[in-house]
Structures are given as structure tokens and as C-alpha cells.
Amino acid sequence: MIQSINPYDNSLIKTYDEMTNSEVDSILQSSQLSFNEWKRVPISQRAALMKKAGAVLRSNIKEYSELMTNEMGKPIVQSRAEVEKCAWVCDYYVENAEKFLQDEIVQTDASKSFVSYQPLGVILAIMPWNFPLWQVIRFAAPTLMAGNTGVLKHASNVTGSALSIEDIFKKAGFPENVFRTLVLSSKNVKRVIENPIIQAVSITGSVPAGKAVAVAAGSVLKKCVLELGGSDPYVVLEDADLEAAADTCVTSRLINGGQSCIAAKRFIIVESVFDKFEKLFTDKMISKKMGNPLDESNDIGPQASIHLRDELHDQVLRSIKAGAKLLLGGEIPSGKNAFYPPTVLTNVTPGMPAFDEELFGPVAALIKAKDEAEAIKLANQSVFGLGSAVFTENVKRGERIAKEELNAGSSFVNAFVRSDPRLPFGGVKESGYGRELSQFGIKEFVNIKTVYVK
């Protein structure tokens, strides 16, 4: 039995029966049969259906946004923005997929030689709860447009959102079984990965989950794309606009209640402006309002579950015990819900959980650096490499640091890290490998085939 619990009031939303092995196998077989037809559908027809999927998302924005907010606590304003972003990624691949996948002529000694991009088959997506629609749709839009079919194993606490995604594609008119949801617990995913029908796997999740999936997929020689954790460093230099930088840093730290792989987590500030930034940052964190996520006036909702909230609090306590200083928050509110307040830790150094681990919640770690060189060294002193940012009024300086110095899949200058359908998204080191979105994302799950004609 799988349960969906509202983290705002700890109430039961709904229970779901886990699918049996025979039910899962039947879905996989149906997805394979559907692939045999779907891969032959002209890309223009696939695009017409994907356009309708975007329209379905926009016309049901109230329903989908409230469902996400109730299932995992996301502020309703952010939920609505997530639905709109999902429609955007559908539109993006409608407009660009054919161009990305067209044959590429290569001059050789053949009479004709070219590179062709052919779909692989049934692709498995294993997705997390923090962006219940976006994480899935950003996978599904390019994957289906490339001619593959998809099956989804979503996080159990957002099963309602998972089933709604399957319904979105049905409402848009996609053929039966082009996209299906598997209602499964994590312990039963390995069996699905090993099924010969599955051709590749995409996972967004924790480092341990990613490693387990990589091992399972590797044991049967299947490709996987891993988008895992992050401890994004934001470097604030002495010539930064501190007011603007503090605004941007607080916004990034608190998006989705801080429950984002690419949320800012470690703030590394050069010592000449450290004290001023610390005050600006803390004052802005204090001003954020926590409460019912369905109330549009609130900035922060609950964490996704009490269990996850308690894990976060333990990281805060262990960091304080190791020498970090608590400036704000750090106390669990009374009540049965999963709230955790905006929290600021300073005097954070390597070796503390707040420096070494991913803090998946509204907790900021402030770190002092002597100068630019030490700030960059501290930024890169992490097992993660998903996103990063640098703040400076010297744009050329910032661009150089972003391009050449920060070890991450994305580096932003004077802005917070975000995903964008037009740009590739992914990480290095323990943040994973492979890329989603843009032209790179649609080519992850295709056979890049050489065709040589004598």
C-alpha cells in the first residue's frame, strides 16, 4: 500500500495499491508494442500531439498546481509556475525536435554518408517528489518526440501527480501506452530496470539512489542519465552589488522550500564584505513568511515530510556541534506538520555537514574566504558539481570564473541557477552524468547511427 500524505496538516490524501509484477510486465509489453508503431509516426504528428499536451497543462493549471501543493507542500504560486514551465518545455520541443534530429551529412569517401538519430525503445524514468510535474515532463517531452515510449516510476508521496501526467498525455491524444505510470515502491525498481524491454534509464534523485540505479543498469549494459544531488556554491566577491546579490541568494535558497538540487546552499563571501553581506542576507531571510502553501501570501510551505524535516534538523544540529554559529531559525516549530524555518548558519567550514552534505531545505551556510582564489577553492571543495554562481560587477571577471574556475554543470553570473529548456542541464562529480533539455537532452536516448552508402 502506497500513501500520499499532506505535509501541511499530516492528513492522508489517498492510498494506492502497488502494482503486481504481472501488472508491471503487462504495461511494459504494451509500451513495447506501442513503441513499434510510435517510432514510425512522422515527427510532425508527434509535435501536434505534444502541442496539445502543453495546452492540456495550461487549461488545467489550477487542478495540477493544487495537487502538487497538497502532495509535497510547494507554495501554490510556485506550483502554478511549474505547470506553465512544463507547457513551455512541450512547446520548445514541438518547435525544435525535428531540427535537432535531422540527418547530418558527413563528407567521406562514400557516395553518401550521414549520421541519423533513431529512437531506442521503452525508456524508464525514475523521478523525485520535489518538482512532481517538471522533472517528468522535461524528460517526457524530448523522449517521446524522439520516437521512444516512456514509463514512469515516481516518488511514492506524489503518486497522484504521477497518474495525472499519464492522464495529460491521454487527454492530448497520444496513442495508448506511449506514456505509462508504474505505481511501485523503490524496492521493486531493480526488477523493472533489468527487464529486457527497458532500453535506458533516466533518474533524478539522491546520490545513493543514483548509484543504485547505475549499478543495476550497468549490470545489464543499459545507458542511464543521472541528475543527482547538489551543494551549489554562490561566490560573492568584494565588488558585487551586495543588496542585489543578497536578494538573489535568498530567493535561490528558499525556492521550493529549499528542496531543490540546484538551490543555492553554500554562500562563500570574501572577508572584506562578509559582515555586510551576512546582515543583508539574514535580514532578508527573516522577512520571508512561512505558512499554508495554498495561501498566496506565504513564501515557504512545509518540507515534503516530517521524516525529511527531521533529517535536515539533524544536519543543522551536527553542524552547530562542529562549530557553526546559528544566526536564525534552527528550531522545529510545534505542531504535526513538517515546517522548518528559514535558517542561517555562519562560521561554516569544511568538515561540517552544512559544508560537506546537501542541505535539502531552507538552511543557508555562510562561509568566509580571504579572497577570490580561496573562494573558488572552497566552492570546488565538494563531491557535488551541479550548479554554481558568482556575483561581481565586473562581468568579464565573472564570466571568466564561471567558465574556467567553477567545477559544475552550470555556472551563472549575477543570477541564480535554474533549468531552461534551451540550455543543457546536468552535473559532474557526484551530481551525476548525462544531460537533459536542449538539443543535448533529446539525443541522450537515441541511437546515434552512422549510415554509409557506397
Is the per-residue pLDDT at 88 higher than 90? yes
Is the same domain home to 268 and 140?
A: no
* Helix or strand run (H / E) with residue 64: helix 61-72
Q: Cell numbers at residue 99, please?
A: 531540427
Is the per-residue pLDDT at 266 higher than 90? yes
Per-residue pLDDT of 379-401, as tens digits, reads: 999 999 999 999 999 999 999 99
Which residues are known to be catalytic?
Answer: 227, 261
Q: What is the dihedral of CA 363, 364, 365, 366, to 10 degrees?
A: -150
Closest by alpha carbon to 432, among 101, 132, 201?
Answer: 201
* Residue 418 within a domain: no
- Read off the amino acid at residue 311: E
Per-residue confidence (pLDDT) for residue 436, from 0 to 100: 98
* Residue 385 within a domain: yes
Is the same domain home to 212 and 243?
A: no
Phi and psi at residue 23, to the nearest 5°: -65, -40
Per-residue confidence (pLDDT) for residue 361, from 0 to 100: 98
Q: Answer for the pair 348, 319: CB distance below 8 angstroms, yes or no.
A: yes
How many domains, the chain?
A: 2
161 vs 167: CA distance, rounded Å: 10
Is the same domain home to 221 and 275?
A: no
Q: Answer for the pair 31, 180: CB distance below 8 angstroms, yes or no.
A: yes
354 vs 324: CA distance, rounded Å: 8
Q: What is the DSSP letter of 332?
A: P
The rounded mean pLDDT for the chain is 98
Q: Cell numbers at residue 63, please?
A: 487542478
Is the per-residue pLDDT at 181 higher than 90? yes
* Residue 420 within a domain: no
Is the same domain home to 221 and 284?
A: no
Is the per-residue pLDDT at 336 higher than 90? no
Is the per-residue pLDDT at 293 higher than 90? yes
Per-residue pLDDT of 213-225, as tens digits, reads: 999 999 999 999 9
For residue 292, the domain's CATH number is 3.40.309.10
* Residue 312 within a domain: yes
Is the same domain home to 447 and 394?
A: no
pTM: 0.97
Q: Which whole number is the average pLDDT over 9-35?
A: 98
Is the same domain home to 138 and 275?
A: no
Is the same domain home to 61 and 163?
A: yes
* Residue 368 within a domain: yes
Is the same domain home to 37 and 158?
A: yes
Q: Answer for the pair 342, 285: CB distance below 8 angstroms, yes or no.
A: yes
* Residue 437 within a domain: yes
Per-residue confidence (pLDDT) for residue 26, from 0 to 100: 98
Per-residue confidence (pLDDT) for residue 27, from 0 to 100: 98
For residue 127, the domain's CATH number is 3.40.605.10
174 vs 176: CA distance, rounded Å: 6
Segments forming the whole domain that contains residue 376: 232-413
Is the same domain home to 202 and 119?
A: yes
Neighbouring residues of 215: CB distance < 8 A, sequence distance ≥ 6 = none
Phi and psi at residue 60, to the nearest 5°: -120, 30
Is the same domain home to 404 and 434?
A: no
Residue with the three cell numbers 492540456: 56
Mode of pairing for the β-strands spanning 198-204 and 223-227:
parallel
Q: Answer for the pair 92, 59: CB distance below 8 angstroms, yes or no.
A: no
Q: Which whole number is the average pLDDT over 186-211?
A: 97
Q: Answer for the pair 213, 432: CB distance below 8 angstroms, yes or no.
A: no
Burial of 331 (0-12, 13-18, 19+ CB in 10 A): exposed
Residue with the three cell numbers 535580514: 283
Query: Which is it for the CA torsion 254, 255, 261, 263, positive or negative?
Result: negative
311 falls in which pLDDT band (50, 70, 90)? Answer: very high
* Residue 389 within a domain: yes
State what percent of residues in the chain have pLDDT above 70.
100
Q: Cell numbers at residue 273, please?
A: 564584505
Is the per-residue pLDDT at 21 higher than 90? yes
Per-residue confidence (pLDDT) for residue 220, from 0 to 100: 98
Neighbouring residues of 56: CB distance < 8 A, sequence distance ≥ 6 = 168, 171, 172
Find how far residue 95's CA is from the centre of its chain. 23
411 falls in which pLDDT band (50, 70, 90)? Answer: very high
* Residue 421 within a domain: no
Q: Answer for the pair 239, 394: CB distance below 8 angstroms, yes or no.
A: yes
200 vs 223: CA distance, rounded Å: 5
Is the same domain home to 180 and 320?
A: no
Is the same domain home to 289 and 433?
A: no
Q: Answer for the pair 31, 39: CB distance below 8 angstroms, yes or no.
A: no
Burial of 221 (0-12, 13-18, 19+ CB in 10 A): exposed
SS3 213: helix
Q: Which whole number is the average pLDDT over 405-409?
A: 98
Rounded to whole angstroms, the maximal C-alpha distance in the chain is 75
